[in-house]
Amino acid sequence: MYKAVFTEKAPKALGPYSQAIRVGDFMFISGQTPINPQTNEIVESDIVLQTRQAMENIKAILEQEGLSLDHLVKTTIFLKDMNQFSIVNEEYGKYLGDHRPARSTVEVSRLPKDALIEIEAIATV
């Protein structure tokens, strides 16, 4: 069995999917774009601010289930511009401290709502 996870502290899904699904000892977090859940709009078109918002959204979903960013075991980062890789690394690293989940980063041609970044994650529970 699985459980759909939802929190008002993260943006509502943009389509027919859940913010996250908890199954067994894992939680699969859908890709989080930098949408501010209070305004339902993408934050300013700045990679630092957008990375922060995507990470805050992931953090809120984890906290809904009593978890933290330390529970992350894998993330995938989708970037509109790979030239911003080092900037994203720096901001992403601030959220994780010494914790280092496995990660992939890929450049994509376009993201929902023309975001600059989207991050999906897998956590252990």
Q: State the pLDDT confidence band at 10, using cuts at 50, 70 and 90.
A: very high
**Residue range 62-78, pLDDT digits in tens:** 999 999 999 999 999 99
Q: 């009593």: which residue's tokens?
A: 66
Distance of CA 50 to the CA centre of its chain: 10
Residue type at 80 in one-letter notation: K
Res. 14: pLDDT tops 90: no
31 close to 55: Cβ distance less than 8 angstroms: no
CATH number at residue 72: 3.30.1330.40
Residue 68: give the domain boundaries.
2-124
Compute the residue count for the chain: 125
Look at residue 95 in the predicted model and tell me its pLDDT: 98
Res. 90: pLDDT tops 90: yes
How many domains does one find in the chain?
Answer: 1
Rounded to whole angstroms, the Cα distance separating 20 from 61 reads 7
pTM score, whole prediction:
0.97
Q: Which helix (H) or strand (E) holds 90?
A: helix 85-96
Res. 43: pLDDT tops 90: yes
Q: What would the mean pLDDT of 88-105 be, rounded to a whole number?
A: 97
Mean pLDDT of all residues belonging to the chain: 97
Q: State the pLDDT confidence band at 41, using cuts at 50, 70 and 90.
A: very high
